[in-house]
Structure 1
Amino acid sequence: MTVLVTGGAGYIGSHMVWELLDAGEEVVVLDRLSSGFEWAVAPEATLVVGDVGDGELAARVIAEHGVTEIIHFAGSIVVPESVADPLGYYLNNTVASRALIESAVRGGVKHFIFSSTAAVYGSPKSMPVTEDQPPAPESPYGTSKWMTELMLRDTAAAHPLTFAALRYFNVAGADPKGRTGQSTKGATHLVKVASETALGKRPYLEVFGTDYDTPDGTCVRDYIHVSDLAKAHAKALGYLRAGGPSIVANCGYGHGYSVLEVLETVRRVVGADFEVRRSGRRAGDATAIVADATTARTRFGWEPEHDDLEEIVGHALAWERSLATRNAR
């Protein structure tokens, strides 16, 4: 059995590759390297450079490597960018995913795990949010992911394919062993940006919106360590392999932190202050969203190991320092 990881040269995908290899799996990566890095792919994995939306290429990779499962991370992920370029997001996320799903069906792939997002919920009416709350995305990014979930649902009803759609909350941190982390230039993830600013890689950090209906006026998010997220995928894969039916599951810790609380944690961990500028709201940003991850815990036995914001920040900062060393060479 071989697992195909799309986007495996990127942030979450590269962690997934290491998680699979550590478990003794055979792994092939398909990534066009638009935002990922060849060096981020574990050397034991096979890297194929190309676009997941290229149906002929995906079909060839599936056939040549005997792919039995796909974990699909490839796609665009920036909410405000999706508002400015909705057609680009529907092309890169929804259309490309449709091509990949078709290649999976034709190639006899048994299981498909999809990188979805909490953005499908928009601003939920009650929290923590459960999977049965109706999707109400507030950005083309969230809509593009929800559309892919619907395609998987309908495809699984018509073909012998089971899937898991994992709805991520805010992913942060880095591999505790220092093998990979968030390396994208110009990244918008708050912990990543704050870590860069704290280490002098950025002159200042902008806080977008301080007038939300939250205790300190800034957005509240549920931050999940990237290694816990990779383990959630591994658990979902085992669940599907054991005959579990298709599933949609949240991946988060069940409690949130405001933007200002995250920045204070970064200051505390790094032991230094940095400049913060306050700006207006960004289009598409929800006020607050926190996960109810009961489904993941009870249906496929996911148990987080890094539910600690200071630990998440510490791993992110360690990775930023290692990147500085790498880039200085």
Structure 2
Amino acid sequence: MILVTGGAGFIGSHTGRALHGAGEECVLLQRRAPAIPPRLADLPVAMAQGDITDLDSLRAVGRRYAITGIVHLAITLPWETDDGDAVGTAGRALDGFLNIVRVAQEWGVRRVVVAGTIGVYGGVAVDGALGEDLPLPMRHFHAIPTLKKITELLAGQLAAETGIEIVTARISGTWGPGGHLPDPFFPAPSLAHAAARRGAPDLSGLAHQPYAEDALDLAYVKDTGRALTLLQLAPRLRHTTYNVGSGRATSNAEVIEAITSVEPGFRAELPSRDAAPPRWLDTTRLREDTGFRPEYDTAAAAADYIAWLRAGNER
């Protein structure tokens, strides 16, 4: 049985569905009351309440279920809280990961797949494909990439000392059912929501002004969940770090074009500029070791997401 931390969340719920599709039983861990979210109501998944920073609550899950693998997607946000305890907050964020490794060792788990982020490549002076072997800048840009880089280093040490296979999945920008609205880093979800309600897009929640030519590796969440499932279930992996994404750069203009193919009356005008050369995740490792291929191109993703929203789903 596979434990998915953050299992009722955005990527977690799609990972649970992909695990079920692969014939695996799974337990979805969430901090709140363990109620199966409506989007998973058709699946025979188990829900468990627990907090990754609370070791006792994790151990309680292991007493109820025979856990054989872990997909660790939950995160304790590593920035200062209202109490002003920045050091304590950073410590709790790291404790969450360490507790997962602790229980994996106690339960005899063979492999833990840990969610990383494309953000660790911030500051890498390379245009084009971003490969896992590129040296990462050891500077602080944002709290989450900083935490993920620290976690990757700890994973290597702990894997060597415990014998657990700890695999980091550096996940690209992801959109689709259950996702963030707005996503502060790219406008695709906001554009899809506008098309679904046949209105004008509200891009005020983005961290920066989006431009038509801006591009990133944009993955549909159903593909992301399936890639994580393949990393968990592959009989043999040759690496400890894998990029998880579409393997190509998608511009905002391409997203608008794809949405317009689904909703011809949709209109969204983004300003133009001379954009930096696009960068995307090199997914060669993922393809070669798991056989992963994205099932959704941008047009198919837009069609699926808009249909989901028009079926009455809020996100």
Task: Give the TM-score normalised by the residue count of structure 2.
Answer: 0.82
**CA distance change for structure 1 residues 304 and 123 in 2, over 3 Å: closer, same or farther?**
same
Aligned partner letter, 2:131: T
1:210-249 aligned at under 5 Å gives the runs 218-239=213-234, 242-244=235-237, 247-249=240-242
Cα displacement (A) at 1:95 = 3.1
Aligned partner letter, 1:75: I
Equivalent in the alignment of 2:281: 291
Cα displacement (A) at 1:163 = 1.9
1:67-216 aligned at under 5 Å gives the runs 67-75=67-75, 90=90, 93-126=93-126, 127-136=128-137, 138-173=141-176, 181-184=177-180, 186-188=182-184, 190-200=187-197, 204-206=202-204, 209=208
CA distance in 1, matches of 2:30, 2:285: 30
Aligned partner letter, 1:66: A
Equivalent in the alignment of 1:46: 46
**CA distance change for structure 1 residues 245 and 273 in 2, over 3 Å: closer, same or farther?**
closer
CA distance in 2, matches of 1:92, 1:246: 28
Query: Contact 1:29 / 1:48 at 8 angstroms: preserved in 2?
Result: yes
Cα displacement (A) at 1:90 = 3.9
Equivalent in the alignment of 2:302: 313
CA distance in 1, matches of 2:114, 2:187: 23
Cα displacement (A) at 1:71 = 0.4
Query: Contact 2:76 / 2:96 at 8 angstroms: preserved in 1?
Result: no
Query: Contact 1:5 / 1:27 at 8 angstroms: preserved in 2?
Result: yes
Cα displacement (A) at 1:17 = 0.7
Query: Contact 1:90 / 1:140 at 8 angstroms: preserved in 2?
Result: no
- 1:257-276 C-alpha deviation (Å, 9 max, x unpaired): 22343234323422233566
CA distance in 2, matches of 1:11, 1:293: 22
Q: Could you say what the CA RMSD is over the residues aligned between the two structures, in angstroms?
A: 3.3
CA distance in 2, matches of 1:229, 1:78: 24
In structure 1, the gaps of 5 or more residues are: 174-180, 279-285
CA distance in 1, matches of 2:202, 2:4: 35
CA distance in 2, matches of 1:199, 1:21: 29
For these two proteins, the number of residue pairs brought into alignment is 299
CA distance in 1, matches of 2:308, 2:242: 29
Aligned partner letter, 1:310: A
Query: Contact 2:78 / 2:143 at 8 angstroms: preserved in 1?
Result: no
Secondary structure of the structure 1 residue equivalent to 2:152: helix
Equivalent in the alignment of 1:281: none
- 1:21-47 C-alpha deviation (Å, 9 max, x unpaired): 12221211111249x973344541110
Secondary structure of the structure 2 residue equivalent to 1:290: strand
**CA distance change for structure 1 residues 253 and 243 in 2, over 3 Å: closer, same or farther?**
closer
**CA distance change for structure 1 residues 236 and 86 in 2, over 3 Å: closer, same or farther?**
farther
Counterpart selection for 2:263 from 257, 270, 276: 270
In structure 2, the gaps of 5 or more residues are: none
Aligned partner letter, 2:70: I
Aligned partner letter, 1:150: L
Cα displacement (A) at 1:77 = 8.2
CA distance in 2, matches of 1:237, 1:55: 23
Cα displacement (A) at 1:116 = 0.9
Task: State the identity %.
Answer: 25
- 1:84-112 C-alpha deviation (Å, 9 max, x unpaired): x9879746643322222222223322210
Aligned partner letter, 2:103: S
- 1:230-256 C-alpha deviation (Å, 9 max, x unpaired): 2222221232xx354552011223321
Aligned partner letter, 2:142: S
Query: Contact 2:71 / 2:112 at 8 angstroms: preserved in 1?
Result: yes
Equivalent in the alignment of 1:255: 248
Equivalent in the alignment of 1:283: none
- Residue 61 of structure 2 corresponds to residue 65 of structure 1: no
**CA distance change for structure 1 residues 303 and 199 in 2, over 3 Å: closer, same or farther?**
closer
Query: Contact 1:196 / 1:202 at 8 angstroms: preserved in 2?
Result: no
Query: Contact 1:30 / 1:52 at 8 angstroms: preserved in 2?
Result: no
CA distance in 2, matches of 1:255, 1:120: 18
**CA distance change for structure 1 residues 303 and 148 in 2, over 3 Å: closer, same or farther?**
same
Secondary structure of the structure 2 residue equivalent to 1:323: coil
Equivalent in the alignment of 1:10: 9
CA distance in 2, matches of 1:223, 1:146: 21
**CA distance change for structure 1 residues 21 and 96 in 2, over 3 Å: closer, same or farther?**
same
Cα displacement (A) at 1:62 = 2.0
**CA distance change for structure 1 residues 69 and 219 in 2, over 3 Å: closer, same or farther?**
same
CA distance in 1, matches of 2:192, 2:25: 34
Cα displacement (A) at 1:287 = 8.1
